[in-house]
Amino acid sequence: MDDGSVADLEPLRQRAEQWVADDPDPASQAELRGLIDGLPGTAAELADRFAGTLTFGTAGLRGPMRAGPNGMNLAVVRQAAAGLVAWLRERDGHRPLVIGYDGRHQSRAFAEETARVAAGAGRSALLLPRALPTPVLAHAVRLLDACAGVMVTASHNPPQDNGYKVYLGAGLGGPGGDGAQIVPPADTGIEAAIRAVGPLSAVPLGGNYSTLDESIVDSYVERAVAVLDAGTVAPEQRAALTVAYTPLHGVGAAVVRATFARAGFAPLAVVAEQAEPNPDFPTVAFPNPEEPGAMDLVLRTAVQVDADIAIANDPDADRCAVAIPDGTGWRRLHGDEVGVLLADHLMRRGVSGCYATTIVSSSMLRALTKARRVDYAETLTGFKWIVRADPHRLAFGYEEALGYCVAPHHVRDKDGITAALLVAELAAGLKAQGRTLADRLDDLAREFGVYATDQISVRVQSLGSITEMMARLRAKPPAALLDEPVVSAEDRAPDADVLTFRTSAARVVVRPSGTEPKLKIYLEVQEPVVGDDVAAARDRARAALAALGTEIATMLGL
């Protein structure tokens, strides 16, 4: 931004002064006061703080923790809570609001502020007893028959971020949305209510909210363990499995340990450096188990303890990553590999119902459900859609970004803890047979062929760059991919900004991220297994994926 004259900066200064006067947090007031006093040299930074407001969407709020309307701070949270409570008052007059939080900076303060706003409006507010995983909050919404739930978390975002997710109870979410994240038009309704909130100093606050006790955690653990099948894996087989685990400095360790112990597994080998919540995430560059290097310490631990599998949760424990020994070292399984393994395991256990995934996940689940004669559903990305795929018969849902719903009757959202339990059950049963998860993946490849998937994420500074790339693909879609003709090209606009291109053995899906300034490109190729040589088919698939990625990157000018 051009610093310009003092007169040019006066509207910005006035807006900032007005915000400071209504900001309830002295620390935020001082932060903005420093920027105001630093004008004109601080003009660009101050303008960015007031360039817009964090908008409430189906992912709730998420952004960097900083003062001003374009950041996560106490003022923005008070406004969001007041708008949410007003929206709820028009639709549900009596049931409680349950509130959870993770271990990030300010999470507890934001949760307590939400509870005070709810209590001040006369709504019963129930605060979880401590920093806990997101699945515990989702479970609590249903268990307590709440009108809604708020989870203060930025999931696997960078340390400087925080966020605010909203779940609805049965009365407002309907059968498929009981304990699920909001979907339109609830997001726009809540956003409108937030914008209608007057001065923050006029928002009534109450101190008579309740803090729940540990029985809510015990309830979650008890229901989580019920995902396992006593007839599938014997107690001694569970106890024989060695699991290396990391919560990646998040809030998962205590609940995961308790759940695995109650299920009869041996004590987990937890990465000591990452076992306790730490909002600075000091040992990882990015607290997302999908990112390169994020699982290095748990893989080191796995080698030290001669583990059978390694598991990582993201910081709020709603995602689950799995790694396995591959003969020469350890390799992380792709989310699609874990998703298909879990679906196959549940089907072989006789779990009936609908198996759902998204338009960007592997096509292999469709092939698996067809062969096993069970129902299949495909949705837009996001668990808010997956759990609504078949509200009354959903048995399992997953998305390639390490999200799995293995017990929709328990948590109607992705749940990295029950997913970890089910992975462990599968691995323990295979170990008792002298086999591994890799062996089961080979079995599935022989039956269905190799479905190999990959993703390209293009992080941008300006969202306009994403718009330009999508427009370029719409104006000139590919006629061929990997020297094979494109047999279908699907544009889901205006309902969704998603482009899909298919050949007889490849698929490309392109869409903007819903939570980050990224363009996401999902690649898939299929290779038959010839002469029982699974390794050769995987080699061909890897080469084809690399070539496909290069083709798409060239088309987008990357």
- Contact by Cβ (8 Å): 295, 323: yes
Q: Exposed, middle or buried: residue 202 (CB in 10 Å: 0-12, 13-18, 19+)?
A: exposed
Q: In Å, how far are 318, 386, 469 from 377, measured between CA atoms?
A: 22, 8, 29
Shortest CA distance to 178 belongs to which of 391, 395, 393, 416? Answer: 391
What DSSP element (H or E) covers 156? none
- Contact by Cβ (8 Å): 168, 180: yes
Shortest CA distance to 277 belongs to which of 141, 415, 63, 101? Answer: 101
219 among known catalytic residues: no
Spatial distance between the Cα atoms of 190 and 59, rounded to a whole number of angstroms: 12
What is the strand order of the sheet 488-491 is part of?
A: 450-459, 518-527, 506-512, 499-502, 488-491
Q: How many CB atoms lie under 10 A from the CB of residue 350?
A: 9
Residue 356 dihedral angles phi and psi, to the nearest 5°: -125, 150
Residue from 28, 107, 124, 155 carrying the catalytic annotation: 155
Residue type, 335: G
- Contact by Cβ (8 Å): 445, 529: yes
The residue whose two tokens read 């003022």 is: 75
Token pair listed for 285: 């560059």
Q: In Å, how far are 136, 169, 176, 209, 381 from 96, measured between CA atoms?
A: 16, 10, 20, 10, 30
Spatial distance between the Cα atoms of 453 and 522, rounded to a whole number of angstroms: 7
- Contact by Cβ (8 Å): 512, 520: yes
Helices (H), 334-376: 335-348, 364-372
Give the active site residues.
155
